């Protein structure tokens, strides 16, 4: 997967996570993309450790959105406490 497609998919995943979990986050394009890419990485790591995916295999789209929601919740928690 190329870097451009990773950025585009990360942005879409980040947008979906923010849509499904609305709130005042104040994130721009870059942070939304980082949120989506981080969620996909988290989902891939979790799926590999649970035995649902092999190393090097990308996480599914739905799992990536769920991972991005988890990252968004962590982000909100850190921003509120920090």
Q: Residue 45: what pLDDT? A: 84
How high is the mean pLDDT of the chain? 83
In the predicted model, is pLDDT for residue 49 greater than 80? yes
3-state secondary structure 40-63: HHHHHHHHHHHCCCCCCCCCCHHH
Q: How many C-beta atoms lie closer than 10 Å to residue 75's C-beta?
A: 17
Residue with tokens 């991005």: 68
Q: What percent of the chain has pLDDT over 90?
A: 4
Residue 37 to residues 63, 81, 82, Cα–Cα distance (Å): 12, 24, 23
User: What ranges do the domains of the chain cover?
Assistant: 3-81
Q: How confident is residue 81, by pLDDT bands cut at 50, 70 and 90?
A: low
């Amino acid at each position: 997967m190329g870097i451009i497609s990773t950025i585009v998919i990360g942005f879409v995943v980040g947008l979906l996570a923010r849509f499904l979990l609305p709130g005042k986050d104040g994130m721009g394009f870059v942070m939304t993309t980082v949120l989506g890419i981080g969620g996909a990485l988290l989902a891939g790591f979790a799926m590999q450790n649970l035995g649902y995916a092999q190393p090097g295999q990308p996480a599914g789209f739905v799992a990536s959105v769920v991972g991005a929601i988890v990252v968004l919740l962590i982000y909100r928690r850190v921003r509120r406490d920090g």
